[in-house]
Structure 1
Amino acid sequence: MHGVKRVRHTREALEAKKLREQAKLTDYLALTDDLLHRKQENDYSLDAFKLTTRLLQVNPEFYTIWNYRRQILIKGIFPEKQPREIYEYINEELGNTMAALKSHPKVYWIWNHRRWCLENIPNNPDADGLEAVNKWKSATWDREMMVVEKLLNADARNFHAWSYRRYILANTTNPRPEVTEIAYTTSKIEANFSNFSAWHHRSKVYSSLWTSGKLDEAKCKEDEFDLVQNAMYTDPNDQSVWIYHRWLVGTDSSAELLNREVRAIEELLDQESNNKWCIESLVHYKRMLLSKVDGDERERLSAECKQLLERLQTLDPCRRERYASMIKQL
């Protein structure tokens, strides 16, 4: 790299580095063998638990060790503890996984362990009244929303974090208004139209709101089409926007809507003549219209689809055979 001084390593330095790496590998393999043997022997001791911590810090994707760690907690540690002590262990586990996520934010097994922790928070048997009994759970679940927002602020496109957010929303004892989620996704999308995970989350929230009748579906959809059209014109090469548009069209699919959206995309194509996503979308929607028309109109649409697919063969030669197959199906 420019501006970076090249460091010349001596043969002795390189050999020393090689030996250090070999020593680390030897230790890792020995620790792995030890833990797998302990697992086979049903060793649920505190020593084994501490060893899982060491190994998972080195390799957080070792899902067998995550499973073993949970077995140790359930079978070896929790049975000897009072609810308050179990809750403290759970909190410590949440803290450990949070530290791990800072370095490995997209490792599935860390997120999975965090969910397990939430689902194993004990009730408080000494409390009076249901609210007090569940206070530990309520406070922890509420805190999780702040945690996931912090992680999404660090990486707004982390689909693991978005999935976890939906999990929290579906299970929390203090649900937040779904319209608040729409506002949240709007802020993320306006910051970056390319945020596919935010678009996907938005589709899930709207589906729930429309099914429950909490929002005027027709008005919402018109507002959404305006938002998506703005995104299309802002960045017509962004796949996320086109995928969301297909979902939105699919919630209605009437001939009137399809024709309207086709006209809007054709206007954009006049400005972006070689835009693959414009052309693919036109093919997709015109093929949907084929099932709604017949006679001359059907022949016209088929011919237009063929022309568009032939353009795609030139623009996207890697998928040439796929487009040829689609032409044969017309």
Structure 2
Amino acid sequence: MASHNVPRPAIIEVKTEQSRLREQNQIDEYRALVDLIDVKITEHQYTLQVLELTSKLLSKNPEYYTVWNARRRLLTCGLFPKLSASSSPLTASQSTSQIGTTTTSSADVSSSITNSSTESKEILDNFDSQTHRKNGTTLELIKSDLGFIFPLMIQYPKCYWIWNYRLWLLKEGNARLETHIARDLWMHELALVGKMLVRDSRNFHGWGYRRNVVAELESPKLNGFSMAEAEFEYTTKMIKANLSNFSAWHRRSKLIPKLLNERKADDATRHDFLNSEFELITEAIYTDAYPYAQSVWFYYQFLMSTLIEPTGSSAINPNCTLQDRIVYLSKQLISLKDMLDGAEDCKWIYDALLEYTLVLCRMREREATPEERQDCLLWLSELRKLDPLRNGRWGDFRLAGSG
């Protein structure tokens, strides 16, 4: 199986009696681990040992969101220093408060749970040594937890709970660490998510997470400043690497209003900017491999909406007159007709021709001409053949008389 052209290894195992017994042992270990954690959380044993137990469980099953919540409680109620309303952010040298009064010995843990896999054990040993070597400071607790999570992110890049917990952990740093230290953590996170998106450039979890990271870095609490220019350039790079990147195109569309406002762009500059974006998307559509890519057509529709809808036009060129919009639309219809040469089986072109021809008629406040009506009927006929699943939609156009 492959997702976004990133291969996912398939594990095929013949079920022998030996493998069945091994699987049953793993199930028994897993259930025992769940029961042990439930008991210790119920007893408010908010200790490093219990934190390690949750690490073992989450390494086996990161989709167990209840355990992520238990991990939050372990940190906020036991391992992190208590925050008061009047307290200032913690420094990197500040150590944690006293750990819960009830502790669990290593012998108790080992007697309750058998050893996990070698990989999980290495992660847990590394986590344990880091935590104790640094004397359990707030900063090192956060860094250790981030380090524990990273392999899970690589292995399970589409798991919501991992991304949510990581974001929560960094926001705890905002409240508990000095501003410049917290900002360093977020800057490191921006670099990390960049590497994640190199591995899978279309991972919408990663793109959503990147937006959150950038928003934090821009915030006043971290002495932030706008990163719109840098992020806009980043979308350009990612789009050129993979034109069929829905998330990159979407991110670009959301950055444009902010970018133009920060540039204090006048009408002429906005006009040139809109032209450059149409050139970019037209070039993408003309690329041999992508005239049928849904992502590029969605961005094309976004740009066209800025001409058609009053609320959309204000995002790029608020002072674009009706006549200017009509001229723009007429040019785009000519360009769309040219695109059909060699791409007669591309439903997106017919759909756009049909929609924007009718829009142009409305903007000119007139009915479709006989020639336009004939063209619309022809395009509808092609759409019925190329996209039969939406016959109801094309039927509605025909019932409306194609004008």
Q: TM-score, normalised by structure 1?
A: 0.85
1:187 aligns with 2:237: yes
Which residues in structure 2 correspond to 1:44-123 (within 5 Å)? 44-79=46-81, 81-82=95-96, 85-121=137-173
Q: Distance in 2 between matches of 1:293 and 1:122?
A: 55
- Per the TM alignment, residue 108 of structure 1 is displaced from its structure 2 partner at its CA by 1.6
Match of 1:239 among 291, 294, 313: 294
The equivalent residue for 1:210 is 260
CA distance in 1 between counterparts of 2:384 and 2:256 reads: 36
**How many angstroms does 1:42 deviate by?**
4.8
Corresponding residue number in structure 1 for 2:278: 225
Pick aligned residue for 2:248 from 187, 190, 198: 198
Match of 2:381 among 299, 305, 310: 310
Structure 1 distance, partners of 2:345, 2:30, is: 53
CA apart distance, 1:222: 0.8
CA distance in 2 between partners of 1:96 and 1:176 (Å): 31
Cα displacement string for residues 186-220 of structure 1 (whole angstroms, at most 9, x for unaligned residues): 22211221111111111122121124444432221
| Structure 1 residue 231, shift from structure 2 partner | 0.4
Distance 1:300 1:73, change over 3 A: farther
Q: Which of the residues 30, 33, 53 maps onto 1:31?
A: 33
Q: 1:250 to 1:315 in 2, by over 3 A?
A: same
Separation in 2, partners of 1:122, 1:232: 43
Give distance in 1, aligned partners of 2:302 and 2:21.
Answer: 55
Deviation by residue 1:138-185 (Cα, 9 ceiling, x = unmatched): 211111121111112222222211212211211113446422222222
Q: Which amino acid aligns with 1:218?
A: H
Per-residue CA shift, 1:2-27, capped at 9, x if unaligned? xxxxxxx99xx811111111221222
Percent identity among equivalent residues? 34
Figure out how many residues of one structure are paired with residues of the other and give that number.
313
Secondary structure in structure 1 of the residue aligned to 2:63: coil
Question: How much does 1:292 deviate?
Answer: 1.7
Compare 283-292 and 97-106 and name the one that shifted more.
283-292
Segments of 4+ in structure 1 off by > 6 A?
none
Deviation at 1:229, TM superposition (A): 0.4
Query: CA–CA distance in 1 between the matches of 2:347 and 2:240?
Result: 23
Deviation at 1:290, TM superposition (A): 4.1
Distance 1:280 1:142, change over 3 A: same
Q: Which residue of 1 aligns with 2:228?
A: 178
Which of 245, 248, 253 is residue 303 of structure 2 equivalent to?
248
Separation in 1, partners of 2:58, 2:71: 10
Q: State the SS of the aligned residue for 2:137.
A: helix
Q: What one-letter code is carried by the residue in structure 1 that aligns with 2:17?
A: E
Shift of 1:225: 0.6
Whole-Å Cα distance in 1 between the matches of residues 373 and 44 of structure 2? Answer: 66
Kept in 1: contact 2:138–2:176 (CA 8 A): no
Q: Which runs of 5+ in 2 are unaligned?
A: 1-12, 83-94, 98-135, 309-324
Structure number having the greater helix percentage: 1
Q: Aligned equivalents of 2:373 and 2:71: distance in 1?
A: 59
- Which position in structure 2 is the counterpart of 1:265? 336
- Inter-partner Cα distance in structure 2 for 1:178 and 1:152: 18
Counterpart of 2:129 in structure 1 is none
SS at match of 2:173: coil
Higher deviation after alignment, 176-185 or 266-275 = 176-185
| 8 Å Cα contact 2:68/2:165 also seen in 1 | yes
In structure 1, the partner of 2:132 is none
Match of 1:128 in 2: none
Would the alpha carbon gap of residues 15 and 262 (structure 1) be closer, same or farther in structure 2, given more than 3 Å must change? same
TM-superposed deviation, 1:326: 3.9
User: Structure 2 length normalisation: TM-score?
Assistant: 0.70
SS at match of 1:222: helix
Q: How many Å apart are 1:36 and its aligned residue?
A: 4.1
Provide the rounded CA distance (Å) in 2 between the counterparts of 1:263 and 1:323.
Answer: 22
1:23, 1:283 → 2: CA distance?
Answer: 62
- Residues of 1 paired with 2:39 and 2:329: CA distance? 61
Q: 1:96 to 1:298 in 2, by over 3 A?
A: farther
Q: How far did 1:248 drift? A: 1.3
Q: Which residue of 1 aligns with 2:198?
A: 153
Match of 1:14 among 13, 16, 23: 16
- The 2-side partners of 1:300 and 1:293 are apart by 16
1:327, 1:42 → 2: CA distance? 67
Residue type at the aligned position of 1:21: E
Q: Relative CO higher for 1 or 2, CA cutoff 8 Å, sep ≥ 6?
A: 2
Residue 164 (1) aligns with residue 209 (2): yes
Deviations 1:55-93 (A, max 9, x none): 111111222211121122111221475398112111111
